[in-house]
Every structure is written in structure tokens, then in C-alpha cells.
Structure 1
Amino acid sequence: MHARKKVFKGLDRIGYICKIIQFTLSGIYIHVPFCRQACHYCDFHFSTNLERMDQMAEMICRELKLRADYLQKTSVETIYFGGGTPSLLQPQLIEKILNQISITYNSDWREVTLEANPDDLDVDKLLSWKSLGIDRLSLGIQSFDEDVLKFYNRAHSSKESKSAIEKARKVGFEKFSLDLIYGYPQPTHELWKRDLSEAIAQNPGHISSYALTVEPKTALGSWTEKGKFQPAEEDFVAEQFEILQELSDKAGYIQYEVSNFGKHGQFALHNTNYWKGVPYLGVGPSAHSFDGKNRGANPSNNSLYLKNLEDGTIPFAVDNLSDEERLNEYILTGLRTLWGIDLGVIHKDFSKDLLASKKSILDQMDREGWLIWKDKNLSLSKSGKLLADSIAAALFF
């Protein structure tokens, strides 16, 4: 496919749908900024200094109290512990945070997710998490190949991954997701096929899969700059994306977002709400928030975050979006999903006629077979999803 050269630039970055409607539900995201060790590809905010976890949990609770009005008394439907490595938190700290949410917010939880590394899962922790109301685990598997795991600097082994899944099932977890990375440079696609087949064989309800991306301030970025690592060609990565689509579809998974595949009734509710534009409050260092109209973020600095909250200051910077920015984010995020974008919403809420203003571009995309039309709803075909962000960018105002 000649257009593959533009495929993966920004493919795995999540934007925000900004449909302007009245919301009755919301979510809370808690960023836990600690990891035992740095994965060589990761540029998320974290620290390997684990000494301040108690203090961090205390300040996260304080932020939850200080920002009580942000969600405007909507019911909190989903809670998501992300990171970093939230499974490093002792259960009593997780309980403290959940109790604070219960006290401060209108809570009607339908899903509480905890990101976890396989090496952190033991039966006692799993039982504690389940007793606290956590009902969904997102397991950072990344690969089942030992050499690849070592290259990524992951702390777990393939054996620990399979054991973690087995333990989670035994204590009664029914909802969990496996995270995988594709695009590791190889002469053939056999390694990726083995990884994906092994993940499917574990029969999780959900699989999230992302392309290996070279980020500047990572070990991988440094190696690439020094010529010690050669990333895979974009066509190779695109082929692996197509293998992901093919094998997951055969196994009964629905690609409901570019990087997310779920069986019926197993879509990640918290992330689905992100893409549908439901407001959420993000607490913790580097956490982002969205109030249904504007967004903002906390500083990506543990010390600064802690100091601000100790002083009683909310460390949150608002990013006021223009109508055009909201519209473009709606297009960007919506086209990544199964549900697509609604041309009626664009006309009603943004006073724009996408069909008229982008007619020639849309006609060309139609001829390429990238679009699916259903009344006034526009979504992407399988081949279109390969180019999701490039297609969205071409439709920006």
C-alpha cells in the first residue's frame, strides 16, 4: 500500500473527542508514577524511586478533595489506575484512594481498572484488589519472547505472564486485557505471529496492541540516534498491523479502536468513554483531565506535584481549546473508533459541513476503500484504520 509511509506517525497517541453535550457520567484516572525499572521504549512519566509512594497516595487523595467540583457532580462511572506501574501500590494505598473517591464524588462504579505487571501478581494481592472492587486488570505482557522481553528491559518472564493470567482467573477476575507490542525488527513476521497467537490462546476478553515507537528521551531513542538500533521499516510495521487485524478478527475480537480489540461485552469502558468524549478527572503527576469542553494537565514532575499539594495548591494547567481545535480533536479521535464521527453533530455543534468542504478529499478516500458510510455517520474500513491519523489530518479544518 503506497500510503503506508504516513501510517504510524502519531498512530498510538490518544486524542480527545469533544462533542459538546450535557453529561451525566464521568471517569477518574489516577496516575501512579512509579516503576521498578525503566522499559527501554517508554516515555511515560514515572520514577524508579519508590520511597515516596505513601506520600504520593496522600497527595493524590488531597488533589481529589481539592478538585471536587471539576466533574460538576456527575456520577463517576469508571476509575482507572494507570502509570507507571499501579500494581506496585500496596492494597491499603489503593483502598485509601478509592475511599476518598467514594467520599468526595457521586460514585456509581461500573468498572475499576488496574494496570499491572505480571511479576507483581500474587494471590494475596489479587484477592485484595478484588475485595476493593477492582474488576478489570490490564496486564503489561508486551511479548511472550524471552529475548524481546530482555531487550525491552521488562522485569517479567514469559512464564510469569502465563502464570499471572492463570492466578487472576483462579481468584475470579473475569475481565482483563493483555498489552502487546508489535514492530520489533525481525527478518520475518513469525515472532509477531507467535506472540499474537499465544495471547489469543490465553483467551482474554480484550487485547491492546501498539507499535514499537522510538521516543527521543528513552534508551531506545538514544540507541537509534547512535546507530546502535535500527527500527523496523514502516511497511514491515504496517504488515504486522494487518496481521493483528486478521488474527484477532478470526478469534472473535472486534477492533473497536485502532489499537484496541475486545470480545462482545469486553470493551474497556473507561477508555471507550475517553473516545466518546465523556469528561474525566486525571489526578497524579502528568495526569490529563477533560471537562467536556477544555482539557489540561498536571506537571510531569513528582517533586513539584507533591510540593504544590502540600502547599494546598492545585497543580493543574488548563488548556482552553478553540472551537476549531475541539472539532479537529473530535474528528481525530472519532475516526479511530468503531463508532466514527457524526456529520450531524459537526454541523449542529460546530456549524461546519464536512461533506461539502472536504468533498474532493472524501471522494478520493472513498475510491481507495478507506471509508464506511452509514447515513450521516463516517467510520473507517480495515484498510482505513491503518491510516487513521493521516485521514483525520486531511479532514481537519
Structure 2
Amino acid sequence: MAKQGNQDRIAVLGLGYVGLPLAVALARAGLDTVGFDTDSTHIAALRQGHDRNGEVSGASLRAAGTRFADDPADLEGCTAFIIAVPTPITDAKTPDLEPLRAACRTIAPYLHKDAMVVVESTVYPGVTEDVCGPVLAALSGLVLYDDIKLAYSPERVNPGDAEHSLQDVVKIISAQDEDTLDRVEAIYAPVVKAGLHRAGSIMTAEAAKVIENTQRDLNIALVNEFSLIFSRLGLDTLEVLEAAGTKWNFLPFRPGLVGGHCIGVDPYYLTYRAEQLGYRPEVILAGRRINDQMGKHVSHELIKALLARGANLAQARVLVMGFTFKENCADTRNTRVADIVTELEAYSMRPDVYDPWVDADSIAHEYGITPIATPETGVYDAIIVAVAHKEFTDMGAAAIRALGKPGAVLYDIKGIFGKSGADLRL
């Protein structure tokens, strides 16, 4: 029998925003933990105490005692495998499960009787058992549910948010049976101080995860649609929301760009599975269509404002401040700011992109955009504050306006400077 509970030797696969904090927390709690990633450069940096995403400090990396590995052979002897790899979508807006399958293929040769595999990646209901399980069994030669124990515990990581860390957010756990669920609980209980919620089944936990962000996506889509309507009425959306918010049960959502690894992706996992079952989810897909067009809407509003000032679009200089999918983090996955840049380029404009949080090389590789190191002063015809980084809020509207020419258009997407601080906002 494999060692039970917190006596397991644990491997965490995928050391990004989800896996790295988990691997560090488990090791800090005294659990024997290997952190595995296929990116050798990333592993080398972690061994030197550097997290390229800025989520885990060097001191925490050094103090935790996590062993970092990029050689699959280092997985030998592990009894519990936690998979925390990305689950993105394809260009066709369908689930891309290849990273998850690849992780299963990697660990399969190192599975022994009573090995436990816990999936943390966001998936649609059924993936852990119907996709991961068969791969693990076929490549290991072991019997699923007998020799290999399956579990699912969805991540609830919010990049750049120190207030809602791994230990501070209730974590859902699920497994194939009660004994395996007890084993999962023994692993996570020492690091999740907010408590654990034991779901009734793996599919229940998978479904719970995928609807968390779908609900938020739809609420943002609703206020984004409000914004589209109110812009045609000449109304200030944030003023309307402030007035409506005086009612006790009005939800405080605000318009904005919806990107990132969760909200802009997870709904497509649920809709994909629904359509496989013969049901077309009209409301969820409508929300996705609205949110996916907001970058184009921002660009068109800016272009109209420039044309109203008599600007020549081909010669107009535009500064886009912020490129990450949200404020105060380096994460650019599925950022919708890219849509703004693409749309402006379609009108023969060449915007400067400035973001003090991003790695310039990774942006150039992923999006074909080379961000500038520092904005020039007094040269821009328009400035878009796309992300509410603390550096930008600290600057204030006047200092940002000083980057532009006299009379330059300031588009404050997040509304961080108030109505009088900008010419345009969602």
C-alpha cells in the first residue's frame, strides 16, 4: 500500500500561478514535495530563488524546501501526483486538453499500485475520469480506480491578489471514493486554513469550478452591454451604476475587458460539453460574444474621438498603458488588451504599449508586440489606460495627460480617475 495522508510523497506538475504556490505551501507544511515543470529555464530560476511570475518571493522559495525538477525520472517514488497545468482554449474556442494529457503521459510510467492522481486544472464535468483516467491506465498498465486513485480539487488562484491566497480561500476536494477523499483532505488540510469542502463526486467538483467564473463572466457581460447601450444614449455608465447601486440588492459589477486564464476561458469548457450533449447554451455564449467584442468597442470609441478632433489616424500616436489581463500582476494569458492593439493596427495605427509588469521578450514571442521601456512625454494624440496598475493610479490623471499633446484623448477603461479625470471610459 502507498503511504497515506500527509505521509505521501507528492509531485506537483506545472509550476505556474497555481502549481508553484501549492508546491511551496505543501513543502513548508512539512510534506515531501517535488515541483515538476518541463521548462528547464524556469526550474533553473526557481532553484536560484526567482519566480518569473512574481507570485512567490525568493525567501519563500528558499525556505520551503521544495525540490524542483525538470527530469521526469525525479518523479520516481512519488505516491500522489497533483496536476496543475493550464487548460486553455483553441482558436476555435474549444477546450485544449493536450497539456493535461501530456501531464498524464509524463506521470504514467511512475505510477505504482495505490498511486493517487489529483487534477487541479479547470475542466468540464467528466474530464478527470473520462480523459485523464484512460490515459493513466493505458500507459501505466494499472487498473483505474483500483490501482490508480482519482481525485479532483479545482484551483481558486487569483493572480496578484495577496488577500485571497491559497490558505485563505475554501478549497473544494473530491475523489472516487471516501477513502481517497480522506487522503486528499490529509494533503490539503495543513495548507488551506480557510477549510475544505468535500464535494459529493468528482463531476460535481468539476462542474462547480467551471460555473464559478461563468457566473462572473455573465455578470460582467451584462454591465458591458449596459455600457454599449449607454454610450449610444450619451450617458456615463459608471454614474448610472453608482445610482443603481444605492439599492441594497444591486450587484456591484463594472464594465471592462474580460481576459485571463479563467473568466474568459472557463465558459467555453462548459458550453463545449453542453453542445456535446445536444444542448446549446444561449445565455452563456451570448455573454461570451459581448465580452469578446469589448476590445474592438474601445478601439472604435477612441478612433471616433480622434476623428472628431481632426486627427489623421495613420499619423496619430497612441499610448496603451497596461497589457496584462488584470492589474498588479504579470499575467498576460488571454489578455484582451491585445484586441485593442490589433484593432488599432487595422486602422493603420502603430500604438506604443507600456506595461511595467510584463516581460518584454515573452510579450514579443506570444503576441508579436514589442513594448516600450518608457513612454515619451508630450507626444501622444491619445492615451488608453487599459489596466489599473498601481503605478498608473499613483501617477494620477494629470501626469498621464502630460504624456500626450495638448488636447490629447484620455481613455480610462477602468474608470480609475473619475468622470472629470478622463475624456472616455467604459
TM-score, L = length of structure 1? 0.30
User: Which structure has the bigger radius of gyration?
Assistant: 2
More strand by share: 1
